[in-house]
Amino acid sequence: MFDKILIANRGEIALRVIRACREMGIQSVAVHSTADTDAMHVRMADESVCIGPPSGTESYLSIPAIISACEVTGAQAIHPGYGFLSENANFVQIVEDHGITFIGPSAEHIRIMGDKITAKDTAKKLGIPVVPGSEGGVPDVAAAKKIGADFGYPVIIKATAGGGGRGMKVARNEAEMERAFQTARSEAKAAFGNDEVYIEKYLQKPRHIEIQVFGDGKGGGVHLGERDCSLQRRHQKVFEEAPGPAISAEERARIGGICANAIAEMGYRGAGTIEFLYEDGEFYFIEMNTRLQVEHPVTEAIFGVDLVREQIRVAEGLPMSFTQDDLQINGHAIEVRINAEKLPNFAPCPGTITQYHAPGGLGVRMDSALYDGYRIPPYYDSLIGKLIVHGRDRPEALSRLNRALGELIVDGVDTTVPLFHALLQEADILSGNYNIHWLERWLEANL
Ligand code: ADP
């Protein structure tokens, strides 16, 4: 079994993995850039290695630096967290070629799911319902217009190599197609170095529902229900909950069963998320993420499992510690993403934390790498904390969220906390009546 794991990440997710290692009696190695010398993950790990200058490309994304750090410290496995190298099939291949275990799925599964056209084809073959749209890539505007006419407007043009909500453009009618198509292409080229795009029917009022799956890599697969992540700004999630307020136990069992079977059939190893849009009682696959998600704690809360521990177990070749029947939902959980951002434009707001106080008490979990006096560097993601609450039911979780937000103190920088205070005053949020457009519309009207 592993004695030592290197965490190829920073911030709250690095802490999350270090905590699981410590509970399992495994030594942890932090890697960091020169901008993160004082970061909490460096302080908390058993060992640390500086792997480069501030720029992510030269540090957290530097494959040679991370492999060297493993060799120098004798770490036997790498946990990639989310973001950075977590969905880089080439990295996984190199890690394995060096005799190091990658804590995650195979390079092949990451490659298949990283290309959204291949992912959709694979999903279809595995019996997963997908959003209607083009068969593969769309080469030019003429072909795009033909698809628009066939499927009916509006349609959405999406980057094959997409991620993080980039390279996506909606065309509401044929007149808008040329511009939307060219813009999506050039954004895709700039962001991913690949200008291939495909087209989907644009759903008008869906919810974003994602199924947490887990495989043992040997043909065993389970699902851990859904998360509703419909509250989004620019296709980025800000508030997530489980179970989904609009999903019935029958629907969960049906779509969950399809996903668990797909995972089993693939021989998928570790944690994954199959993302759907859900409208009028139907699920439509959009993509699969082959890693731990930012919002995994809401699933952990309602199922009482430790997904990171489970990832480490299956990477060691051990069986999963639960069966589908063991996985019973208990209560309701909500996560809010606390970003160092200034409202109303959500402009990144790095700076020094003059005071930090985390909320506590029953059913409250705060995953954050903040501390008093910490300087948030300007080079990375603006996520500085995740507040997760768990209650016996949704109303209890909501009132607990309200209470915990009231206790939280993050002074010195602007954060998204005021947004959540305001959202908790909204009848639609309290009743769970929202879709993927709700937040954008609310922001336009209220901020
Ligand atoms: P990314 O990988 O960039 O996050 P996704 O394919 O996961 O892209 O889509 C992100 C979000 O974009 C979805 O949660 C949804 O809000 C919106 N979206 C994507 N596809 C469609 C579609 N066909 N119709 C309507 N909205 C969509």
Q: What is the pLDDT of residues 110-147, one digit of tens each?
A: 999 999 999 999 999 999 999 999 999 999 999 999 99
CA-nearest residue for atom 22, ligand 1, is: 202
Q: Which residues have CB under 8 Å from 409's CB, separation 6+?
A: 355, 356, 357
**Beta strand spans in 217-346 (E):** 221-233, 236-242, 269-279, 282-289, 332-339, 341-342
Cα–Cα dist 447/439, whole Å: 11
Q: Of all atoms in ligand 1, which is nearest to the CA of residue 235?
A: 11
pLDDT in tens, 182-226: 999 999 999 999 999 999 999 999 999 999 999 999 999 999 999
Cβ distance 426 to 220 under 8 Å? no
CA dihedral 413, 40, 212, 187 (to 10 degrees): 60
Cα–Cα dist 95/70, whole Å: 10
Rounded mean pLDDT, 256-277: 98
DSSP one-letter code for 310: H
Q: How many CB atoms lie within 10 A of CB 191?
A: 16
Query: Which one of 202, 286, 439, 440 would you pick to mutate in the ligand 1 pocket, going by the greatest count of ligand atoms within 8 A of its CB?
Result: 286
Residue 200 pairs with which residues in a beta bridge? Answer: 133, 156
Q: Of all atoms in ligand 1, which is nearest to the CA of residue 204?
A: 25
Ligand 1 binding residues, C-beta < 6 A:
131, 156, 162-165, 200, 202-203, 206, 208, 232, 235, 275, 277, 286-287, 436
Q: What is the ipTM of this complex?
A: 0.97
**DSSP secondary structure string for all residues of 161-228:** T--TT-SEEEESSHHHHHHHHHHHHHHHHHHHS---EEEEE--SS-EEEEEEEEEESSS-EEEEEEEE
Residue reference for tokens 């949020």? 429
Rounded to 5°, angle at Cα 400 from 272 and 364 = 55
Q: Is the pLDDT of residue 447 over 90?
A: no
H or E element at residue 5? strand 4-7
User: What distance in angstroms lies between residue 133's CA and the mean position of ligand 1's atoms?
Assistant: 13
Instruction: Please tell me the predicted confidence (pLDDT) of residue 164.
Output: 82
Please indicate, yes or no, whether the overall pTM of this predicted structure exceeds 0.80: yes
Burial of 28 (0-12, 13-18, 19+ CB in 10 A): buried
